Amino acid sequence: MDRTDQDAAASADRKQRQREAFHADDPAAGPLTTDQGVEVDHTDDSLTAGERGPTLMEDFHFREKLTHFDHERIPERVVHARGAGAYGYFQPYESCAEFTRAAFLQDPAVRTPAFVRFSTVQGPKGSADTVRDVRGFATKFYTSEGNYDLVGNNFPVFFIQDGIKFPDFVHAVKPEPHNDMPTGASAHDTLWDFVSLQPETLHAIMWLMSDRAIPRSYRMMQGFGVHTFRFVNAEGRGTFVKFHWKPRLGSHSLVWDEAQECQGRNPDFNRGDLWDAIEAGEYPEWELGVQLVPEEDEFAFDFDLLDATKLIPEEQVPVRPIGRMVLDRNPENFFAETEQVAFHTANVVPGIDFTNDPLLQARNFSYLDTQLTRLGGPNFAQLPVNRPVAPVRTNQRDGAHQSAIHRGTNYFPNSLGGGCPAHAGVDGKAFTHYTERVDGHKIRRRSPSFQDHWSQPALFWNSMSDWEKQHIVEAFRFELGKVDARAVRALTVEQLAKVNGELATEVARGIGVPLPSGPAAEAAEATEASKSASPALSLEAQRGDGSIRTRKIAVLVTDGIDAEQVTSVRERLAAEGAIVEALAPVDGEVRGADGELYTVDRALPTVASVLYDAVLLPGGPVGTSPAAADPDALRFVRDAYRHGKPIGALGSGVGILSALEPEGLRLSTEFHHVESDLGVVTETSPGAAGEEFLDAFVAAIAAHRHWDRLPTRH
Ligand code: HDD
């Protein structure tokens, strides 16, 4: 590291050094004690009157232990209850002084420590990761000027326009009140009842029905600040800003059928993936980009910048990269850090301000309010994960769980305390609210500029590739197909007809409701705006660096395997940064055709194809695939094929692919490579894999999924 890098790394370590002061390594420190520090010699039996007698009240150790345990849980978040977090840092590429005076966006040599929590929204804390849902993407920057929280999602738009509707929306999507079902799912009557009556939901619903709602990894999804915020520079000039996180590895998703199976095979699929990548030193990275709109262009769009159900197409206002974030440290205690972290949209720093977006204004109330209940009082900013690295000097005192021993005066103004803490401002560092002129009548009415609910859902639909459109239709059919109230299904289709006629028709055909006729149908594609497209909205356009780093590749091995083949592919995939695991019917070792023993990473019955990105079938010397006899292996390959995953087969390993012919694979063994455009790459000659095979297999993995292989809807 040169000096600049060292300085940058030291700046990122500020939060870690602060956390270290709070480490409590009880087991290493000596014998067991009570909370009062009294040593305990026996914690396995309670104090009783006689060997078979009743437990005695005076057993203070027993009562303290049980009482503490009884109170170990805090209320889970009312939304976004399930999450996973990590520490890291943010580093700007260059100074953004032209637009904002935020200190953490000025100096490319300074890394600002950060904590990110990813989450699902609907399900409780113990629900599965791979449900169809929005993902939260909340970032806390521990800046030198105090904490800045960017509390975003992996969709750029939200379901409602005004925060007063948030309780209605959340009640509708959450499990139904009478039976607390379904868990982690939106496919139920109350959500779709709400959607059918509330067309402002349609744009976010289109995102929810798309593959964006089932990300392959938290490390492979975009993040968005959603609202239009305001940058303010040192001269006090404001610029509207929308925030975008773009993952270096690109945005990739699961297939719905796979996502559902994953919920059972590994409910921790996304959080485990994040944890493992960081432990392996494969640090997830995102680029922070901004869309900047000068204040004078506030009304230059055919939608309102204050409307959180709208996005600014990137083709209209390009995303300008301003820095990158790297997550390089897992938390040490889930409860202390990931569970107790408290985000708040109103945690801003000088240079970043709000707009009058009514959703944002409501959020600025709600987050502090919810933390008071969730974290049991007003002192949660003292918790290690929430503590700023900037100095804190307030006259706030007391309250539950106060951990500071404040001394001196606690009011302003004072002379007895030397006037401290004094008002900031002389050095220009204080936060000052943007001086926006506001003038109007007190009214309770949605702005007429918020009324077009159909053009942008149409824009989204128009921007999708064919396979994405197919998945959206299938998702609508799945969700509405689970709605019992037929009238709700029909009304939702009427809403969709105002977005796009083809979409409505395809959905209607799958759920047994008539196509709308009359005004709703006529409204489809009515406006100019609803005919446009924004290619950047397609996952096709979000491929990142195109590498296969951290993709998980399964190699199915058994005794008799051609070890030379396995080694040649392993070496190449490892060089590309992929994770390769050898799977066999039982754990331990297999004996290769060369007589050597090879280590097995996992037993097939403990895993499944849905936990991997691709599969390799090496051959053996006996003319058939060694894997072909094993039912788990066959199922593995079938699933990989159904889910569009790359499959590589070598030598006699190609034989197992004939089992896929009923699934639609057109297998030809005459050629060196078979149908590699469908992501099935084969080499029939025995021995080590050739360069051509390796290149084709790596390219197939980089493409992620091979949609042409999957059946089209009817
Ligand atoms: Fe929210 C949590 C994101 C609208 C009220 N929200 C929460 C979290 C994220 C978001 C990522 C989890 C933070 C964490 O990991 O601890 N919320 C959003 C986005 C929204 C949004 C991107 C729209 C643009 N939220 C929204 C509205 C309200 C809330 C309109 C209320 C008026 N959100 C909350 C909350 C939560 C929350 C009830 C629950 C737990 C928490 O705050 O700390 O206050």
Pocket probe mutation, ligand 1, options 78, 80, 243, max atoms within 8 Å of Cβ: 80
Mean pLDDT, range 309-330, rounded to an integer: 98
Mean pLDDT, range 408-437, rounded to an integer: 91
Annotation says 423 is catalytic: no
* Confidence at residue 28, expressed as pLDDT on a 0 to 100 scale: 62
CA angle, 137 then 140 then 146, to 5°: 155
Please give the Cα distance from 390 to 413 (Å, whole number): 23
Please give the Cα distance from 711 to 714 (Å, whole number): 9
Q: Which of 416-425, 673-682, 685-694 has the highest mean pLDDT?
A: 416-425
Mean pLDDT, range 625-648, rounded to an integer: 85
C-alpha of residue 151 to centroid of ligand 1, in Å: 7
Please give the Cα distance from 631 to 616 (Å, whole number): 16
Q: Which of 8-12, 193-197, 420-424, 657-661 has the highest mean pLDDT?
A: 193-197
The length of the chain, given as a count of residues: 714
C-alpha of residue 15 to centroid of ligand 1, in Å: 24
Instruction: Report the largest interatomic distance among the alpha carbons of the chain, rounded to a whole angstrom.
Output: 93
Kind and range of the H or E element at 239? Answer: strand 238-247
How far, in whole angstroms, is CA 95 from its chain's centroid?
28
| pLDDT value at 668 more than 60 | no
Please give the Cα distance from 185 to 134 (Å, whole number): 11
C-alpha of residue 367 to centroid of ligand 1, in Å: 7
Structure token digits, residue 335: 């409860």
Which of 26-30, 551-555, 651-655, 677-681 has the least mean pLDDT? 26-30
Domain boundaries, the chain: 8-48+55-70, 83-382, 455-541, 552-702
Which of 301-310, 483-492, 564-573, 660-669 has the least mean pLDDT? 660-669
Spell out the alpha helix ranges (H) of 608-686. Answer: 631-642
Q: Which fold has domain 8-48+55-70?
A: Cytochrome C Oxidase; Chain J (4.10.91)
**Does the annotation list 363 as a binding residue?**
yes
Structure token digits, residue 515: 């196509």
CB distance 663 to 641 below 8 Å: yes
Structure token digits, residue 44: 């396995």
pLDDT in tens, 518-544: 655 555 555 666 789 999 999 999 998
Mean pLDDT rounded to a whole number for the chain: 93
Closest C-alpha residue for ligand 1 atom 35:
367
* Confidence at residue 29, expressed as pLDDT on a 0 to 100 scale: 72
Q: Quick one: 465 exposed, middle or buried, by C-beta within 10 A (0-12, 13-18, 19+)? A: middle
**Does the annotation list 117 as a binding residue?**
yes
Mean pLDDT, range 334-344, rounded to an integer: 98
Cα-based distances in Å from 70 to 47, 65, 66, 74: 19, 9, 6, 11
Task: Select from 645, 625, 616, 619 the least CA-distant residue to 705.
Answer: 645
Predicted complex: ipTM over 0.85: yes
3-state SS assignment for residue 616: strand
pLDDT in tens, 361-411: 999 999 999 999 999 999 999 999 999 999 999 999 999 999 999 999 999
C-alpha of residue 629 to centroid of ligand 1, in Å: 51
**Does the annotation list 19 as a binding residue?**
no
Mean pLDDT, range 430-436, rounded to an integer: 94
pLDDT in tens, 145-198: 999 999 999 999 999 999 999 999 999 999 999 999 999 999 999 999 999 999
Kind and range of the H or E element at 244? Answer: strand 238-247
pLDDT in tens, 48-89: 999 999 999 999 999 999 999 999 999 999 999 999 999 999
Count Cβ atoms below 10 Å from residue 301 Cβ, excluding itself: 17
CB distance 120 to 184 below 8 Å: yes
For 552-702, CATH number? Answer: 3.40.50.880
Task: Select from 614, 593, 583 the least CA-distant residue to 681.
Answer: 614
CA angle, 234 then 238 then 244, to 5°: 105
Task: Select from 690, 679, 677, 689 the least CA-distant residue to 657.
Answer: 679
| pLDDT value at 674 more than 70 | no
Task: Select from 254, 113, 134 the least CA-distant residue to 191.
Answer: 134
Cα-based distances in Å from 96 to 111, 136, 290, 292, 320: 15, 26, 11, 12, 11
Pocket probe mutation, ligand 1, options 74, 76, 77, 149, max atoms within 8 Å of Cβ: 77
CA angle, 484 then 155 then 324, to 5°: 155
* Confidence at residue 671, expressed as pLDDT on a 0 to 100 scale: 47
List the strands of the sheet with 680-683, edge to edge: 602-603, 579-584, 552-556, 614-617, 647-650, 680-683
Spell out the alpha helix ranges (H) of 142-225. Answer: 166-173, 189-197, 202-209
Residue 107: partners with Cβ closer than 8 Å, 6 or more residues away:
92, 95
Mean pLDDT, range 122-131, rounded to an integer: 98
Cα-based distances in Å from 657 to 101, 524, 582, 635, 650: 60, 45, 19, 12, 11
C-alpha of residue 611 to centroid of ligand 1, in Å: 30
Which of 205-219, 265-279, 411-425, 462-476 has the least mean pLDDT? 411-425
* Confidence at residue 677, expressed as pLDDT on a 0 to 100 scale: 62
Ligand 1 atom with the shortest distance to the CA of 359 = 30
Is domain 83-382 in CATH 2.40.180.10, yes or no? Answer: yes
Helix, strand and coil in the chain, % to nearest 5: 35, 15, 50
Of 61, 147, 153, 643, the catalytic one is: 153
Query: What phi and psi values does residue 12 have, to the nearest 5 degrees?
Result: -70, -25
Closest C-alpha residue for ligand 1 atom 30:
163
Annotation says 153 is catalytic: yes
Residue 527: partners with Cβ closer than 8 Å, 6 or more residues away:
452, 454, 455
Please give the Cα distance from 644 to 708 (Å, whole number): 8
Ligand 1 atom with the shortest distance to the CA of 360 = 30
Closest C-alpha residue for ligand 1 atom 11:
136
Annotate 556-584 with DSSP letters as a single string. Answer: E--TT--HHHHHHHHHHHHHTT-EEEEEE
Q: How confident is the model at residue 652 (pLDDT cuts 50, 70, 90)?
A: confident
Q: Which fold has domain 455-541?
A: Hemocyanin, N-terminal domain (1.20.1370)
| pLDDT value at 623 more than 50 | no
CA angle, 563 then 565 then 568, to 5°: 105
| pLDDT value at 275 more than 80 | yes
Ligand 1 atom with the shortest distance to the CA of 226 = 24
C-alpha of residue 576 to centroid of ligand 1, in Å: 38
* Confidence at residue 659, expressed as pLDDT on a 0 to 100 scale: 75
Q: How confident is the model at residue 714 (pLDDT cuts 50, 70, 90)?
A: low
Give the β-pairing of 589-591 and 352-353.
unpaired
Q: Say which residue, 510 or 682, is predicted with more confidence.
A: 510
Which of 29-33, 313-317, 436-440, 610-614 has the least mean pLDDT? 29-33
3-state SS assignment for residue 92: strand
Closest C-alpha residue for ligand 1 atom 26:
363
C-alpha of residue 316 to centroid of ligand 1, in Å: 28
**Does the annotation list 374 as a binding residue?**
yes
CB distance 156 to 206 below 8 Å: no
Please give the Cα distance from 635 to 615 (Å, whole number): 12
Of 61, 80, 203, 344, the catalytic one is: 80
Query: What phi and psi values does residue 513 have, to the nearest 5 degrees?
Result: -120, 155
Kind and range of the H or E element at 366? Answer: helix 358-374
Mean pLDDT, range 107-113, rounded to an integer: 98
Ligand 1 atom with the shortest distance to the CA of 308 = 24
Find the residues whose C-beta lies inside 6 A of ligand 1.
77-80, 83, 117, 119, 136, 138, 151-153, 158, 163, 166, 226-227, 308, 341, 343, 359, 362-363, 366-367, 370-371
**Does the annotation list 367 as a binding residue?**
yes
C-alpha of residue 181 to centroid of ligand 1, in Å: 22
pLDDT in tens, 565-579: 899 999 999 999 999
Give the β-pairing of 83-92 and 352-353.
unpaired
C-alpha of residue 563 to centroid of ligand 1, in Å: 52
Pocket probe mutation, ligand 1, options 229, 338, 343, max atoms within 8 Å of Cβ: 343
3-state SS assignment for residue 353: strand
Query: What phi and psi values does residue 687 have, to the nearest 5 degrees?
Result: 95, -175
Q: What percentage of residues in the chain have a pLDDT greater than 90?
A: 82
Please give the Cα distance from 207 to 691 (Å, whole number): 40
